[in-house]
Structure 1
Amino acid sequence: MSERNRVTLSDVAAVAGVSLSTASRALNGGGRISQATRARIAEAALRLDFRPNALAQSFALGRSRTIGILAHNARGAFTEPVLVGAVAHLGSREQACLLYDMGRDPDVLAESVRRLQARRVDGLLVLGDGLHARLRSLTGEFSVPVVYAHGLTDRPDDACYVPDSEMAGRLAGEHLLSLGRRHIAHITAGEHDTAATGRERGLLAVLAEAGLSAAADTLRGDWSRASGAAVCRRLLASGVRFDAVFCGNDQIALGVESVLLEAGRRVPDDVALVGVDNWETVISGQGTRHLTTVDTGLAGLGAAAGAQVADGRDDPGVHAHPCTLVVGATTSDGPAPPSPV
């Protein structure tokens, strides 16, 4: 439709038989207007395929209809799905997004904050790069709602959306127990990482409820495949009896698997493996299914955080976003074989 033929608000008002101001208030959700009149105006707008001017709406409502997004590493493997989920949700609500990416340079933070303040955004979504370090709270520097996703801040009352790490550990433990595995080892990252400690707590809680304990004390390294391999060699050398390993993430699991196969241990016949992150599908996009893993739902987490900032809700505290188990070839649904001595 050309600009000359574009339907205007005056056209809607004329068809609905109301004043221009009444039509404007009704379509913007304001004013004391009867339900019947509001419905008549909405029906006229729909019939005429009226498309309101976003800029004019912004002026009328005194809002920019723009959400600022400040990412600590927008291109990060785990940040990107959160960003995509948030932007998709905000777009579905006709909210524009203004993205500033700090990369990995904290010196960019102050300038990004000043620019976002100057743009008078209606809300701010801060995307962290994981749970290994606390984010500096920016809530006090804005008069609009500020919500954090995939990160925890140094202020306890901030609204922070993070994966439910304990649920991830519980799902893994419950799955392995359901397969008859009773000697479950755990290999993960350092004890100062909130994600690692949460997943560990979930696993140990499930084992305790079953009257069991882990096959060995938690074995720690970092999040890499090389670390998983190195720690698995230590586990094998210890002579500990185990028939399953819950790995803190998928990279660790792949390193563990490589060492088990080198040692002649069959996966999953001798040792079942579960990781976390759903790397094959969510991160790499391969769409294959080799590892049994826990998907932390990063896109959904981003959407949930985006919904709160768009709604302007005051919903402080940590919001643990649910995870799901994705079964692959590294576990089996048959009875567990005798554990290796």
Structure 2
Amino acid sequence: MTTQRAVRLSDVAAVAGVSKATASKALNDSPVVSAATKAKVREAAARLDFRPNALALSFASGRSRTVGLLTHRATATFSRAVVMGAILELGRRERAVLVFDGRIHAHREMTESIRTLRDRRIDGLLVVGAGFGRVTPSITHQFEVPVTYAFAASDSPDDSVFVPDNEQAGYLAGRHLVESGRRRIAYVTADAADLAVQRREAGFRRALEEAGLEPAATLYGSWRQEWGAEAVDLLVESGRAFDAVFCGNDHIGFGVLDALAALGRVVPDDVAVVGVDNWEEIIVDQNPRRLTTIDLDLTGVGRVAADNIIDPTPFGGERFVTPNLVLGPSS
């Protein structure tokens, strides 16, 4: 069995009736080649299904067509979704990806990664953080290529940062509960100092204000499932009436569901519950779906951030990716 030889640039040149050098310039859109010759060469390349050699293109253009990806715990559940979105998009845009996973906040480890990435002559760098609990130090000034940040809070206002729209997530949850007829809605979430907590609360309160409502209660704790269950006990002990709970994340939401079931409260008839993250889409042991939630589209965050490496926006600042309401039996 013989293996078919790959189509070469010389084959394209022969079919188009031009020199190999002219064919190369035409395919690279050189201004010294006429439009008619470019069209003729491109038609020949398409007919032969010619695929340019990536290494040759790199030498010709002076670009590596490789993007660096610097992460903080790439295997972390939520970071992994961002990384996957970025890698898939870069692959679609025919870019190679050079991944360095480590502790962004560890100075020595970060310094070594930066040196290696610069040595590899990458065309751009995507920095993927691990959420908003800590501010990510800017390293843009250490590179001469575009640098973009995803799922991170950079300490430089000039950096291009792509994040899920946490305020809109809170607004979607609050509006959904209001439109479902709920009027005494509690907010159970994590540490008040967390940026994601603050933004989700701002959106939630905006939705309630539009309906002329105030939160029935606001309880701060942790992101853990146990805190959700404890918060329900605190709400009941306080004597505050509530017919819905907006939970800062799905873990808290699962805890709330468990505690309500233990108290004999029927969901959603007695109490409706909404979370954030669409955690059940990520793991396999929460089946069937129990919770209405807000999907932050973290894969989309990675995708649009990767696009910004290839086609950078002229201005820095935060750019938000729109979340989606995912209905479940809890509301």
TM-score by length of 2: 0.95
Distance 1:116 1:207 in 2: 48
Closer/same/farther in 2, CA of residues 32 and 268 from structure 1, 3 Å limit: farther
Contact 2:159/2:316, CA 8 A, preserved across alignment: yes
With over 3 angstroms needed to count, the CA separation of the structure-2 counterparts of 1:330 and 1:131, relative to structure 1, is same
1:80 matched to 2:80: yes
Runs of 4+ deviating beyond 4 Å: 1-4, 283-288
Query: Is the contact made by 1:170 and 1:199 (CA closer than 8 Å) also made in structure 2?
Result: yes
Match runs of 1:1-341 below 5 Å:
5-103=5-103, 106=106, 107-216=108-217, 218-284=218-284, 288-331=288-331
Segment of structure 1 superposing worse, 5-14 or 207-216: 5-14
With over 3 angstroms needed to count, the CA separation of the structure-2 counterparts of 1:112 and 1:234, relative to structure 1, is same
- Once the two structures are superposed, residues 177-211 of structure 1 have per-residue CA deviations (whole angstroms, 9 ceiling, x without a partner) of 11111111000111111111110000100110111
Change (3 A) 1:29 1:233: farther
**1:33 Cα deviation from its structure 2 partner:** 3.7
Q: How many residues align?
A: 330
Separation (CA, whole Å) in 1 of partners of 2:26 and 2:132: 44
Structure 1, unaligned runs of 5 or more? 332-341
SS at 2:68 equivalent: strand
- The alpha carbon displacement at 1:286 in A equals 6.2
Determine helix, strand or coil for the equivalent of 2:137: coil
Q: CA deviation at 1:113?
A: 1.0
Q: In 1, are the aligned partners of 2:29 and 2:38 still within 8 Å (CA)?
A: no
For 1:146, the aligned partner's letter is V
For structure 2, list consecutive stretches of 5 or more residues without a partner in the other structure: none
| RMSD value, Cα | 1.8
Local SS of the residue matching 2:163:
strand
Deviation at 1:313, TM superposition (A): 3.6
In the TM superposition, residue 310 of structure 1 has moved relative to its aligned partner by 1.7
Deviations 1:205-246 (A, max 9, x none): 011011111112x21001110111122211111111110000
SS at match of 2:136: coil
Distance in 2, matches of 1:33 and 1:10, equals 17
**Could you tell me how far 1:32 is from its partner in structure 2?**
4.2
Which TM-score applies when normalising by structure 1? 0.92
Instruction: Give yes or no for contact 1:74–1:103 (8 Å, CA) kept in 2.
Output: no
| Structure 2 letter corresponding to 1:326 | V
- Contact 1:145–1:314 under 8 Å retained in 2: no
